[in-house]
Structure 1
Amino acid sequence: MLNNLIIRAEKPADYKNTELMTMRSFWNKFGPGCSEHNMVRIIRESKDYIPQISRIAELDGKIVGAVFYTKAWIDDGSAKREVALLGPLSVEPTMEGNGIGGTLLVESIKLATKNGIAGIILAGEPGYYPKFGFELCSKYGITDAEGNSYDAYLCYPLTDVFKSCKGKFIESGDFAKIGDEKLLEEISKEFPDYRKVKVQEGFMQIFDEHLGRVESIQGEIYNVRYWELVIPANLSDNLQEKPYVGSDVQFCWNHKGGESKITKVLKNLLEE
């Protein structure tokens, strides 16, 4: 953890900066652009928002992370038990690898316990959240609203009541607003017009993979532009196509200063 990292409640003066940081965190992650900055605004305005356990991370006066929670329910067909939905959890992309997301998780889980939350549910990366104690929802007989189970569907029991819950997970009805394309378009006008990338391969940035663009080549070193950073990277041994200057690439960023690797050359379908 960064020594001068502050975890605190969000204030109205933080709203725009939190939304921008969230936008940057999710930009081009699961598809062209993102909607998570819109999600944050919808959550704040929702009657189901839980500000008591939602937190932001501040470093040297700059917001570098945030986690939001809303009320949700597990419906067994005869009764609904209230739980908390975690998400989004966002970290400023240029500050990844510094334990910011993990610190937000640990601190907010402590707050959830103090506030009597029965348990937490999320849909997220199954290679990340179990490090902090999250388990498969299927272990407790919890499914999505349609009765399906996924590896990305995770939970964190905080009480014995939660452990006895079985049924379908129901999120706040306000999340339906996230699909409002006109609302997203209007909100996005308030933020920088970042470049969108669309590929056929599906998720572009998941687990250790990131989306970057080759800025220059020096011998066997490919300098990859990732937001404001330029990260030197080598080519993966099984790379099928060599990138050139201007290529969109998927790469594994070694945050600890070791060797970063370009794993795939991508084609932006929006620019063909």
Structure 2
Amino acid sequence: MATQQPVRVGVLLREWRQRRRLSQLDLALLADTSARHLSCVETGRARPSRTMVLRLSRALDIPLRERNTLLLAADYAPAYLESSLDDKTMASIRSALDTMLTAHEPYPAVVVDRQWNVVTGNQAMAVLMDGIPRHLLRPQANVYRLALHPDGLAARLVNLREVRALFLERLLRQVNATGDPQLRALYEEVRQYPSPADTEQADAEHPPSPIQVPLRVRTPHGELSMFSTMATFGAPADVTLSELAIELFYPLDEFTTNALRALEE
């Protein structure tokens, strides 16, 4: 039986270049090389050096995990470690995450990985996690399933259709930017979730907002309105660290501010 040949590094580089919608000349200029050499690399007529693989990876803004894949395809050792958050070397990272999450209370905050799986969160996340069934928490909670599954937060979202459209657009952009098959599978899954028409309230019931699509959630404490920002670690040198993101939620109105502060007290 014939064995499958490993994917050439040139093929992978061409896929990333096309994904970034760059010509060979565009990429050559960004990576300080010649279009002729790049063409030879992509067609397999030339083997790029380790330095060139990393230079092209930086020019293409390729995630660290895939940079390691490119290096392996070119018969080089990976350049980036992939550590567990439980490793001793990651103690300072764990401490920083704990500090950020705790300092953000009484407002919700959550740490997610590349596939939007929940790594950890602060105590204030309870207001969003209230009533989430066990099957959405196992084996690992995922932000998209928690938010859009009809058994999850979707049942309490006042503006579900708006949130659903925003989430799907954001996820599709990430799929197209990374080519990650797991993200593609997640997108195909959550886009099949229903979007009940009767979950939407008229915009006239809400005052103008500087945030196009806030998160409006029905709770026993009243309707809470929030928006979120994302934070990442600067200049990561570890695959795990490069794939972590912290989503920080903030109140959009005085009622939500007071309600979240009262819940903490």
Flag the structure with larger Rg. 2
> If the TM-score is normalised by the length of the shorter chain, which range does it land in?
under 0.3
Length-normalised TM-score, structure 2: 0.23
The structure with the greater share of residues assigned to strand is: 1
Length-normalised TM-score, structure 1: 0.22
